[in-house]
Amino acid sequence: GAGVSQSPSNKVTEKGKDVELRCDPISGHTALYWYRQSLGQGLEFLIYFQGNSAPDKSGLPSDRFSAERTGGSVSTLTIQRTQQEDSAVYLCASSPSLTGGRSGELFFGEGSRLTVL
Amino acid sequence: AQTVTQSQPEMSVQEAETVTLSCTYDTSESDYYLFWYKQPPSRQMILVIRQEAYKQQNATENRFSVNFQKAAKSFSLKISDSQLGDAAMYFCAYSRYNNDMRFGAGTRLTVKP
């Protein structure tokens, strides 16, 4: 597709279960981001991938959260032993590589809504 | 750390009228970028307008314009001739480079017919 694709769109799970959220960025975009959006809150930065560089994991809230990006394309965000406070919309975004350190537009997916019962 | 503050959780405007959404940010940098993103009920965030801090001229995109006050660290969004399709959450964002985009808490805009 032409845009950022995320799956599943909605996920309901029981407390303590593991979940995987998938993001397929726009083809050719080298940068990929995960954000978390809780009800009534802004976007909380989680993790950032840029090409083959080591990811910036500074936003991950705990060691239950991890993410990988295979082949510089698809990314999976994994939450282990889910807790009720993990309930949120998880947004993925990608952007093309820009020269000179300029900041450009992020292209977002529609998000994955996670509900932990 | 850079922070972005949107002090208006909710705003309302009459169709065809003008509304201004406020945003302030905190940074010690002189070169950076500011953005307004729109998030309709479909959840997909889309870029509305972008401002580069080194540019003194305020950015404009059709009915959307900004009032960028660098010294005051203020970046407000003005929507003219509001339309029903403008109803959404609006997020202000700050970034120096792509890997540090920070968002405000958002303002929910309602457009009344």
| Distance separating alpha carbons of residues A72 and B41, to the nearest angstrom | 30
Nearest CB to B97: which of A41, A91, A103?
A103
Find the domain containing B71 and state its range. Answer: 3-112
Domain count, chain B: 1
Q: What is the CATH number of the domain that holds B13?
A: 2.60.40.10
Q: Which of A27, A91, A16 is nearest to A59 (CA)?
A: A91
Nearest CB to A31: which of B47, B98, B106?
B98
Dihedral of the alpha carbons of B80, B85, B86, B92, in degrees to the nearest 10: -140
Strands B107-112 and B10-14: parallel
What's residue B79's pLDDT?
A: 98
pLDDT in tens, A15-67: 999 999 999 999 888 889 999 998 767 888 899 898 888 888 989 999 999 99
In this predicted structure, the answer to whether residue B3 has a pLDDT above a threshold of 80 is yes
Taking contacts as CB-CB distances below 8 angstroms, the residues of chain A near B47 are 105-106
pLDDT in tens, B36-77: 999 998 778 899 999 999 888 899 999 999 999 999 999 999
Domains of chain A and any CATH numbers? 5-97 (2.60.40.10)
